[in-house]
Amino acid sequence: MLNKTGIPTKDQVLSRFPDRKALIKPKAILECYEDIPCNPCSTSCPFDAIEIGENINVQPKLHTDLCTGCAVCVPSCPGLAIVIAQIKGDRAVFKIPYEFLPMPEKGQVWDGVNRSGEVICDALIEHVAITSKTDHTAVVTASVPVEFIYDFVTVRVKQ
Amino acid sequence: MRIDKHPILNFPKKEPIPFIFEGQEVYGVEGDTIASALHALGITTLSYSIKKGRPRGFYCAIGNCASCNMMVNGIPNVRTCITPLVAGMIVERQTDKGVIR
Amino acid sequence: MKHHELIIIGGGPSGLCAAKMAAEAGVKVLIVDRSPQLGGQLTKQTHKFFGSKAQYAKTRGFDIAKILIDQVIHHPNVTILQEATVVGLYPDKVVTVYQHDTYTRYQADKVIVATGASEKFLAFENNDLPGIYGAGAVQTLMNLYGVLPGQDIIMVGSGNIGLIVSYQLLQAGVHVKGIVEAAPTIGGYKVHASKIRRLGVPIFTSTTVQRAVGSTHLEAVELVKLDAKWQPLPGTEQIIPIDALCISVGLSPMHQLLSMVNAKTKYINELGGFVPIIDDHHQTTQEGIFACGDAVGIEEASSAMMEGYLTGLYVAEHLGKSHPESHALKEKYEHELDMLRNGPFGIKTKIGLEKLRKDDIHA
């Protein structure tokens, strides 16, 4: 399915999420489902929580207990395949990479979008970070109702 | 149409560069190639094919396919996609293989 | 006639990397490039690159170009000619250059052909209409010159270039109506495809372009679905109004200068077309003429850089000047190249290289 549509299956997505207990703290979700020669996520992680190893074609593996959700990996992934997820009560809080104009701003409500590009909910923009280190990739903190935790992937400005 | 704001790249306002296209004075900007200046003006037909007179535009943009060949300052077959725009250039479409006038 | 120890034809990633190694080994290098800017296709790549640290992973393509250019532009052993087209290459290593109305002949001791590749074309009715561009050309217009190619676009081809350029079109504010792929599956990295799908862009697999519609400019495209035998399925035609069409159906190595010197080539599908037969020093069947990068087989820029470094090191040795760290660097770059080709996306290249070397005494 991924090969035909570019959209991972529900099982593929779930396999990258740690269990809900662990998500009390923010954790990286590595949606890299293919062996490609690439390892900046692993080399960028200040906590060695992302493992790839000598053969850089191997898909990254997250050591959940070492991951602090610092989000350094988010703008490091050339495929923009990494987000940070956290459950805070009835909200799922994400840190996502964003490279478009207009840039979201704190306090705005944008559309929350799923992997098929469909609008599924409202997303509250809580923070936008863009520094020289992130090299024009903004790390946007957005929260959605927790029931969308496995469906939400990015934000889109309301038309 | 020129891009004003871009999430990754910077497109600052640049100095306009006047040139003549098919007898009319038009403007490109500093840093343009002849082809990019024409495209920004909405001119996408750069030549006509020799036998059937079909409109042609550019294709490869790296000076390889000859689709963008135009007459510049009387010299035919100039690859406008890789030739920087210079003020006062006289740019014309060619309909033949190119004859030096 | 001017003399230069080493002439490198092409100032893209493989040419620049070859120049760095050779210059550091003490070789006098002349780089000849026909574009107004050095860096080859890297200069218009706005996305972050893959690979490992050695290939500047997570650095944007145009920033990698700056790094590679910086490495050679001030080196005392390097001379650069820009907006200079090599119009002739001869077996005695004479290189003729046409630059700004002047024709100059150079005599080289060794030559490296690093001319890269050009976009393939697709045959369909009206494919010559203005508004139909190679995907790389659209990148050039947008990212180098800040000019939009159109407002409503369809991309043909779902390889990495098709997927990446679609994303870049969206970043520039262009409406991408869809990506058309003749094969039943997406050709490029799935992370690129996923990025596009999030943005609501459909990917039409098993679909191709039947014809383009328009008189002086493209106005619409007719798509048609393909059956399992790649034949158009009658009744599945649909017309989509667009003002630009990007063709991204693969690249072909630019081996033409090598044909001038009768360097032996072989047609290898997996490598993109006709490629020169080269030995493990990247020397062609014409003595003293070497080749590297996309000109010897279509891969990614990351491989072009590694091949460039290696070829520079080998050519320096052939000139009797070894790089001070020759052994360690050769090992490092061979290893990197191996790793880049190790995954499922490298299989095609490996098959191609095996076919190239098979039955060949020279290689």
- Taking contacts as CB-CB distances below 8 angstroms, the residues of chain B near C118 are 60, 62, 64-65
pLDDT at B49: 87
Interface B:C, Cβ pairs < 8 A: 99
Domain count, chain B: 1
**N-to-C CA span, chain A:** 30
CATH number of C121-247: 3.50.50.60
Contact (CB<8Å) C217/B62: no
Provide the total of helices (H) and of strands (E) in chain A, helices listed first. Answer: 4, 9
Token output for C14: 């493989």
Using CB atoms, pick whichever of A38, A81, A118 lies closest to residue C51: A38
Summarize the confidence of residues A78-105 as an average pLDDT. 96
B11 to chain A, closest Cα gap in Å: 14
Domain that residue A125 falls in: 2-156
- Per residue of chain C (363 residues), what is the pLDDT tens digit? 899 999 999 999 999 999 999 999 999 999 999 988 899 999 999 999 998 888 899 999 999 999 999 999 999 999 999 999 999 999 999 999 999 889 999 999 999 999 999 889 899 999 999 999 999 899 999 999 999 999 999 999 999 999 999 999 999 999 999 999 999 999 999 999 999 999 999 999 999 999 999 999 999 999 999 999 999 999 999 999 999 999 999 999 998 999 899 999 999 999 999 999 999 999 999 999 999 999 999 999 999 999 999 999 999 999 999 999 999 999 999 999 998 898 888 899 999 998 988 766 554
Summarize the confidence of residues A39-60 as an average pLDDT. 94
Instruction: Look at residues C224, C241, C355 and name the one whose alpha carbon lies nearest to residue C297.
Output: C355
Contact (CB<8Å) B58/C148: no
**Half-sphere exposure of C203 toward its Cβ, with a 13 Å CA cutoff?**
34
pLDDT at C156: 97
C346 to chain A, closest Cα gap in Å: 9
- If DSSP codes are grouped into helix, strand and coil, which group holds residue C7? strand
- Taking contacts as CB-CB distances below 8 angstroms, the residues of chain A near B4 are none
pLDDT at C172: 95
- Taking contacts as CB-CB distances below 8 angstroms, the residues of chain B near C128 are 49, 54, 56, 67
Q: Which of residues 37-96 of A touch C (CB under 8 A)?
A: 37-40, 43-44, 55-57, 76-81
- Taking contacts as CB-CB distances below 8 angstroms, the residues of chain C near B60 are 118-119, 134, 136-137
Amino acid at C105: R
A75 to chain C, closest Cα gap in Å: 8
Residue of chain B whose Cα is closest to the Cα of C251: B60
DSSP run (H or E) holding C153: strand C152-156
pLDDT digits (tens, 9 = 90+) for C240-249: 999 999 999 9
Q: Is the ipTM of this complex over 0.90?
A: yes
Domain count, chain A: 1
Contact (CB<8Å) A101/B7: yes
Interface A:B, Cβ pairs < 8 A: 9
Cβ-based neighbour number of residue B71 at 10 Å: 22
Per-residue pLDDT for A127 more than 80? Answer: yes
- Taking contacts as CB-CB distances below 8 angstroms, the residues of chain B near C132 are 57, 59
Domain that residue B52 falls in: 16-92
Tokens 């070397």 belong to residue: C357
DSSP secondary structure, C84-140, as one string: EEEEEE-TT-EEEEEETTEEEEEEEEEEEE---EEE-----BTTTSTTEEEHHHHHI
SS3 content of chain C, % helix, strand, coil (to 5): 35, 30, 35
| A103 alpha-carbon distance from chain centroid | 17
Q: Is C339 on the interface with A (CB under 8 A)?
A: yes
Residue of chain C whose Cα is closest to the Cα of A1: C185
Q: Is B61 on the interface with C (CB under 8 A)?
A: yes
Cα angle, residue A114 at apex, residues A3 and C238 outer, rounded to 5°: 60
Domain C2-118+251-362: which CATH class? alpha beta
pTM: 0.92
Per-residue pLDDT for B100 more than 70? Answer: no
DSSP run (H or E) holding C6: strand C2-9
Q: In angstroms, rounded to a whole number, what is the distance separating the alpha carbons of residues C169 and C175?
A: 8
Q: In angstroms, rounded to a whole number, what is the distance separating the alpha carbons of residues C31 and C27?
A: 12
- The CATH number given to whatever domain includes residue B78 is 3.10.20.30
pLDDT digits (tens, 9 = 90+) for C305-334: 999 999 999 999 999 999 999 999 999 999
Contact (CB<8Å) C145/B36: yes
Q: Which of residues 31-50 of B touch A (CB under 8 A)?
A: none
B100 to chain C, closest Cα gap in Å: 14
Q: Where in chain C is the domain with CATH 3.50.50.60?
A: 2-118+251-362, 121-247
pLDDT digits (tens, 9 = 90+) for C40-66: 999 999 999 998 888 899 999 999 999
Q: Chains near A, with 3+ CB pairs < 8 A? A: B, C
Cα angle, residue C303 at apex, residues C299 and C304 outer, rounded to 5°: 85
pLDDT at C363: 47
